Amino acid sequence: MNYDNNNIFAKILRGEIPCDKIYEDDFVLSFYDISPQKKIHALVIPKGKYVDLDDFTVNASSEEMVGLLKGINKVAKKLGISVDTGKGYRALANISEHGGQEVPHLHFHLFGGEKLGKMI
Ligand code: 5GP
């Protein structure tokens, strides 16, 4: 799938649509999900144009990959849900049709702030 420059997260990255920002650096932007599924529900997205995790894994630079993983950890720390600042969390990426991905810009959901129960 080609990257759609008009997807909602691309618009958020360009500042055309507002978001409730949690964290930003050269590699990632993080903001709260508009429709939270758990007590804490954050999204972490890479700044580069990647449709999903497969696209990112094949096409992103090593620097971008490290930046995304470190970004997830920084956000978890900031939210007080990382292993060292809290009680843990769940990081989840939906990928394409069977994964139930709705927004075609790679994003990790971070769920936490409460016991999450079974995965599915
Ligand atoms: P997906 O199903 O693609 O993994 O998740 C997309 C997520 O993006 C959903 O949890 C949905 O609530 C969230 N979302 C969709 N549109 C917006 C928006 O405009 N702002 C924010 N903050 N989240 C959004």
Question: Per residue of the chain (120 residues), what is the pLDDT tens digit?
Answer: 899 999 999 999 999 999 999 999 999 999 999 999 999 999 999 999 999 999 999 999 999 999 999 999 999 999 999 999 999 999 999 999 999 999 999 999 999 999 999 988
pTM of the model: 0.98
Residue 66, pLDDT score: 98
Beta bridge mates, 10:
none
Which residues, in sequence order, are CB contacts of 19 under 8 Å at separation 6+? Answer: 12, 29, 31, 32
Please report the atom of ligand 1 found closest to the CA of residue 107. 4
Alpha carbon distance 110, 43 (integer Å) = 6
**Amino acid letter, 27:** F
103 CB near ligand 1 (under 6 Å): yes
Residue 1, pLDDT score: 80
DSSP secondary structure letters along 31-86: EE-SS-SSSEEEEEEESS--SSHHHHHHHS-HHHHHHHHHHHHHHHHHHT-STTTS
Domains of the chain: 8-112 (3.30.428.10)
94 CB near ligand 1 (under 6 Å): yes
107 is catalytic: yes
